[in-house]
Amino acid sequence: MKFDAFDLHQDIMRAIAHNGYEEPTPIQAKAIPAILTGKDLLGLAQTGTGKTAAFALPIIHRLMKSRGRRIRALVLAPTRELAAQINEAIQNLSRGTGLKSAVIYGGVSMNPQTEALKRGTDIVVACPGRLLDHISQRNIDFSGLETLVIDEADRMFDMGFLPDIRRIAGHLPQKRQTLLFSATMPDDIRRLADDMLHDALTVQIGYKKPVATVTHALYPVEHHLKAALLIELLATTDTESVLVFTRTKRRAERVARQLSKAGFSATSLQGDLSQNKREKAIEGFRRGSYRILVATDIAARGIDVSAISHVINFDMPDTADAYTHRIGRTGRAQNTGDAFTFVTRDDAAMIRTIEQILGEKLQRKTLTDFDYTKPKDTPAQAGNPNQSQQQRAAYPASRRFSPSRSRNAGRIHTPASSRWTTNLDR
Ligand code: AMP
């Protein structure tokens, strides 16, 4: 199938070509004609499937049919990163059409957002909390709204945003088109869809299953050796950008620090960072100045870096859905990717669930030169740089990192003495 089949405005066709999209992805093939009819839509699709363009393209097309400086489309997204990325995608796809899009999220000053709203915009991409602030300050006029998109509804629910979404909907014209996207359909999302959508079409793509372009492997390891294993794995694997997931914010920060000490170009992304630092970390990762980004699930939601070759689950995710979402960050569009998951004996049940979803038994892998028997450091030893003697014993000299051995161009060389602080508490 070709994009021509949708009969989209020629400016949009140019923007599609400019973005390098040759063929619609499966969700686009199904959702674009459905949305063009003006009907409501329930889209069961995970990120990484081309979902954003699937709703953005027909919305842009419909908005181009008439003009007006009122807000005519609103996209709600759960996180700032996702909102920023959707806005960027919309701006790319509406290049040359004269349409304007503005993004609204918390953690930054309201004034520039208020100004952008005053200047007039056709599309608003927003996180619910900050949008409600603007609504209560009467900064925003939704009387001309034609289309509402609720993206990643299941994640909105996880983050407690459903009441906010219902409140926002109360400020929108009742006669409108509503599109709701979710990777999963828990009962609360089903109820939200029942309330929000009327006579909706449903499109479903790859429900729950991670994208097929990803290869999965499990790395059994004792908890206290995870950081050392990560370092060894990164040293012996060809990678482009690597996204590492940890369960907690503290650990994300700590692992990134350990990787930096071991000579890798790594940074972390977690909820506590200031907006400025978050943007810097994401931008640095996107541009390749950081090869490795360590993040928690919420912080990494929606990160769109096309060159992510490896997702490494330093900690097993809490749910099978989270696994799907995490590894949806690699193998995007036509690329292939690898998902490595560190597993301890506590993770057996989750492994079974993931294997059931994938319909295959996952490969268990070990690194030949890695010492899996090394005992946990005692508190006195932990963090003591003079312990490097013992720690080095676990790594034969030939396995230690040197820039000449490194296949990771992003690696920074650091003195050997600072490389071995691999203790890790929870
Ligand atoms: P999304 O699911 O919206 O997060 O999109 C995942 C990635 O696929 C993004 O990097 C998009 O730019 C890319 N993408 C979307 N549609 C297409 C397409 N038709 N062909 C190639 N890449 C696409």
Residue 124 Cα to ligand 1 midpoint, Å, equals 20
d(CA 286, CA 112): 25
pLDDT at 400: 34
Residue 367 Cα to ligand 1 midpoint, Å, equals 34
pLDDT at 426: 30
Strands (E), 12-135: 41-44, 73-76, 101-104, 123-126
Residue 37 Cα to ligand 1 midpoint, Å, equals 22
Looking at the DSSP bridge assignments, the partners of residue 75 are 125, 149
- The residue out of 204, 233, 266 marking a domain boundary is 204
Residue 356 lies inside a defined structural domain of this protein: yes
Residue 48 Cα to ligand 1 midpoint, Å, equals 6
Nearest ligand 1 atom to alpha carbon 46: 2
Same structural domain for residues 249 and 147? Answer: no
pLDDT at 413: 33
Residue 391 lies inside a defined structural domain of this protein: yes
Same structural domain for residues 168 and 307? Answer: no
The answer to whether 194 touches 162, Cβ cutoff 8 Å, is no
Residue 380 Cα to ligand 1 midpoint, Å, equals 50
Residue nearest to atom 15 of ligand 1 (CA): 50
Residue nearest to atom 6 of ligand 1 (CA): 48
Q: What is the CATH number of the domain that holds 364?
A: 3.40.50.300
Element (H, E) at 358: helix 348-358
Residue 286 Cα to ligand 1 midpoint, Å, equals 15
The answer to whether 169 touches 182, Cβ cutoff 8 Å, is no
Residue nearest to atom 14 of ligand 1 (CA): 50
Residue 196 Cα to ligand 1 midpoint, Å, equals 27
Same structural domain for residues 200 and 219? Answer: no
Residue nearest to atom 5 of ligand 1 (CA): 50
Contact partners, residue 290, CB within 8 Å, separation at least 6: 265, 266, 267, 281, 284, 410
Same structural domain for residues 374 and 288? Answer: yes
Which H, E and C letters describe 223-283, residue by residue? HHHHHHHHHHHHHCCCCCEEEEECCCHHHHHHHHHHHHHCCCCEEEECCCCCHHHHHHHHH
pLDDT at 271: 67
Strand pairing of 337-343 and 214-220?
A: parallel
Same structural domain for residues 96 and 182? Answer: yes
d(CA 178, CA 201): 11
Residue 35 Cα to ligand 1 midpoint, Å, equals 18
Same structural domain for residues 245 and 166? Answer: no
Same structural domain for residues 32 and 91? Answer: yes
Nearest ligand 1 atom to alpha carbon 23: 19
Whole domain around residue 252: which residue ranges?
A: 214-425
Nearest ligand 1 atom to alpha carbon 3: 19
Same structural domain for residues 17 and 123? Answer: yes
d(CA 147, CA 94): 16
Helix (H, G, I), strand (E, B) or coil at 419: coil
Task: For residue 179, give the amino acid letter.
Answer: L
Nearest ligand 1 atom to alpha carbon 21: 20
The answer to whether 47 touches 328, Cβ cutoff 8 Å, is yes
The answer to whether 255 touches 244, Cβ cutoff 8 Å, is yes
Looking at the DSSP bridge assignments, the partners of residue 266 are 292
Question: Would the CA dihedral through 297, 300, 306, 308 be positive or negative?
Answer: negative
pLDDT at 328: 77
Same structural domain for residues 148 and 231? Answer: no
Residues of the chain with pLDDT under 50: 207-208, 382-426
Residue 328 lies inside a defined structural domain of this protein: yes
Residue nearest to atom 20 of ligand 1 (CA): 21
The answer to whether 34 touches 181, Cβ cutoff 8 Å, is no
- Choose one of 211, 282, 304 to mutate for the ligand 1 pocket test, by most ligand atoms within 8 angstroms of C-beta: 304
Strand pairing of 201-204 and 266-269?
A: unpaired
d(CA 70, CA 120): 6
Residue 209 lies inside a defined structural domain of this protein: no
H helix intervals, 71-110: 80-93
Same structural domain for residues 364 and 237? Answer: yes
- The residue out of 148, 179, 204 marking a domain boundary is 204
pLDDT at 378: 64
The answer to whether 400 touches 392, Cβ cutoff 8 Å, is yes
Same structural domain for residues 175 and 229? Answer: no
Same structural domain for residues 260 and 165? Answer: no
pLDDT at 407: 37
The answer to whether 294 touches 256, Cβ cutoff 8 Å, is yes
The pLDDT tens digits of the residues spanning 369-409 come to 899 999 987 655 544 444 443 443 333 333 333 333 333 33
Residue 281 Cα to ligand 1 midpoint, Å, equals 22
Binding-site residues, ligand 1, Cβ < 6 A: 21, 23-25, 28, 47-53, 304, 306, 332-333
Number of compact structural domains in the chain: 2
- The residue out of 204, 226, 257 marking a domain boundary is 204
The pLDDT tens digits of the residues spanning 23-47 come to 898 889 999 999 999 999 999 887 7
